[in-house]
Amino acid sequence: MYNNYRKDDIERKLARARFRPLDVMVTGVTGAGKSTTLNSLFEREVAKVGTGVEPETMGLDSYELSDLIRFWDTPGLGDGVEKDKIHGKKLVDLLYKPYNLDSNTYGWIDLVLVIIEGANRDMGTTYKLLNEIIVPNFQKERILVAINQCDVAMKGRHWNLKINKPEATLYEYLEEQAISIQRRVKEATGVSIIKPIYYSAEYGYNVNKLLDFIIDNMPISRRKLL
């Protein structure tokens, strides 16, 4: 389904930007659901999902949703100081992964998608990820933030399991949470982000909205390295 989702829109934007495919780095703290998100987008298991203490994503793997969009799964932060240093270096190296064209050097990654888990249990590490790794090494206007696991945002309350959608109380809470995170990211990092969207990769809720979020905010030019 999603491999052909809004194909004409993506084709048109890529033609204008003069690059192909769109490369999206997916990052966040451990447990935010990066791999689950990718599996939901691909509608099959392409990325291993951690079920224990140790995170599954220890390297940098890329997955092509189509010849138009490629996602890069990255290790999460929040597993200790030493591991975070190692993982942080991998992220920075990916952000500076270059390619040369017409005597210019451009960055391989076009967009960064930062995933936050719905209960907001480790926002401090998310701010660290943004402040110390993403923002200093990447154009701010190419940073997107999305909220996964919206089904547990109120500890599982007001999530309708019969239709896998939030009830009105949870929906209102999620709307307020998105605005709150937008404000808190600005206060913590100085970066003005687009209002995050919320979704549940586990239940497939609003996954199409996540893809809309990425497509609607695709860059229309190549990314020159800083």
Cα separation, 129 vs 74, in Å, equals 12
> Given pLDDT bands bounded at 50, 70 and 90, which one contains residue 58?
very low
Pairing of strands 143-148, 197-198: parallel
Domains of the chain, CATH where assigned:
2-148+206-216 (3.40.50.300)
159, pLDDT greater than 50: yes
Are 14 and 7 spatial neighbours (Cβ–Cβ below 8 Å)?
A: no
Q: What order do you get walking across the sheet with 143-148 strand by strand?
A: 61-64, 69-73, 22-28, 111-117, 143-148, 197-198
> Given pLDDT bands bounded at 50, 70 and 90, which one contains residue 79?
confident
Report helix, strand or coil for 25. strand
To the nearest whole number, what is the mean pLDDT of the chain? Answer: 91
53, pLDDT greater than 80: no
60, pLDDT greater than 80: no
203, pLDDT greater than 50: yes
User: Residue 166: what pLDDT?
Assistant: 97
Are 76 and 28 spatial neighbours (Cβ–Cβ below 8 Å)?
A: yes
Hey, how many other C-beta atoms are within 10 angstroms of the C-beta on 3?
14
pLDDT (mean) for 90-96: 95
- Whole-Å CA distances, 63 to 71, 95, 141, 188: 5, 17, 24, 32
pLDDT (mean) for 86-115: 94
User: Residue 1: what pLDDT?
Assistant: 76
> Given pLDDT bands bounded at 50, 70 and 90, which one contains residue 102?
confident
Report helix, strand or coil for 181. helix
User: Residue 38: what pLDDT?
Assistant: 94
- Percent of the chain clearing pLDDT 90 (strictly above): 83
User: Residue 54: what pLDDT?
Assistant: 40
Least confident stretch, 19-28, 29-38, 119-128: 119-128
User: Residue 48: what pLDDT?
Assistant: 63
* pTM (two decimals): 0.92
Q: Which helix (H) or strand (E) holds 107?
A: strand 104-107
> Given pLDDT bands bounded at 50, 70 and 90, which one contains residue 65?
very high
Q: How far apart are the first and last CA of the chain?
A: 36
Are 94 and 60 spatial neighbours (Cβ–Cβ below 8 Å)?
A: yes
Cα separation, 110 vs 116, in Å, equals 20
> Given pLDDT bands bounded at 50, 70 and 90, which one contains residue 59?
low
Cα separation, 5 vs 211, in Å, equals 8
Cα separation, 38 vs 32, in Å, equals 12
Are 214 and 8 spatial neighbours (Cβ–Cβ below 8 Å)?
A: no
